[in-house]
Structure formats: C-alpha cells, structure tokens
A = this chain, B = another copy of it.
Amino acid sequence: MTLTRNAADRTKRVVSSSGRERPVSETRIAVRTSELDSFGHVNHAIYLNYFEHARFEALKQAGFPWGTLEERGWAIFVVRIEVDYVAETHREDELLIRTWADSFRRTSMVLEQEMLRDDDSGEVVARARVTAVWIGSDRRPMRVPPDVQRGLSEGTT
C-alpha cells in the first residue's frame, strides 16, 4: 500500500490490495478508559468498534451519511473480518484510522483499514479487511448503491 496525494483534488489516495488507486477517508479516535481490559490495554474487540466507526465516516465522506441509511431502513452487515493486531494501545492514545475500498461485488464490498498512532511515530497498530453486505428495508441483500460505489472508488468532487 502506498499513500499518495493527488495534487488536483487534494484527497489522499492509496493503492488497495487488489492494485486499484482509491481515495482514503481518515478518522481520529481517542481511546477511552472503559475500553481497557483487565490486561491494561485496549481490548481487541474494541478495535472493531473503532473500525466500524471509521467505515461509516468513509461512507459519509463518499456522500452517504448515516442518516440516509436510517431514513431508508437499510443496513450494512459485516460478513467477514480479518484483523491483524500489530501493537498494543492504551489510555490517552490518539489513533488515526484510514479506510478505503478494495473491491465490490453486486451486493457486497471489501473495505481495507489501517490504524496508526496519531503522532510523529505514525506507528501502525492494526490492520483490517472487512467484507460487508448491503441490506435493504426488506432485510435482504440489495445492490451496492452506485453512488456509494462511485464515491468510494473515485472520491467525491
């Protein structure tokens, strides 16, 4: 993955696992005390909350805010998740999550995510690859909205 900047549209872009150049959404997360487990670090399940939050930020940035999902009675179900936990995180850590699309099928999409320390080190603390299915108001898989696919693939202008 190589992070570049497109001078024209000022959006950060990344080359995804499958070799496509994609816009990157960035979300900042501040660790909360209650997210530590009895080993004194952020519990691995909590990372999924952080990544989920960042995915909805990416959708918003791609022109599809949470409110639209609610209004239409749609949902997005995670069907597969792979997470590599690279470093521990603790209370008072500030994190930055980068989210981008890798690929799309008719009713699902694969998003890639990277969690970094939001400091000079920029240390990667975790990486995720998430497959999610779009669900219509009838509770059945629906086509990925073309606008969303376009926004996640090319960025919004």
Contact = CB atoms under 8 A, between A and B. Distances in A.
Interface of A: 30, 32-41, 43-46, 48-50, 52-53, 56, 65-66, 70, 75-85, 88, 91-92, 135
Contacts of A41: 77
B80 A85 contact: yes
Contacts of A79: 84-85
- State the copy count for this chain: 4
A33 B56 contact: yes
Contacts of A80: 82-85
Contact of A49 (B45, B53, B56): B45
Given A84-B79, A91-B56, A91-B66, A34 B39 contact: no
Contact of A45 (B48, B66, B84, B135): B48
Main secondary structure of the interface of A (DSSP, over half): mixed
A9 B41 CA distance: 35
A40 B73 CA distance: 11
A83 B85 contact: no
20 contacts: A30-B30, A32-B49, A32-B52, A32-B53, A33-B38, A33-B66, A34-B37, A34-B45, A34-B53, A36-B38, A37-B38, A39-B76, A44-B48, A44-B52, A45-B46, A48-B48, A77-B85, A79-B85, A80-B82, A81-B81
A49 B41 CA distance: 15
Contacts of A65: 92
Interface centre among A38, A40, A81, A88 (most CB of B within 10 A): A38
Contacts of A36: 37-38
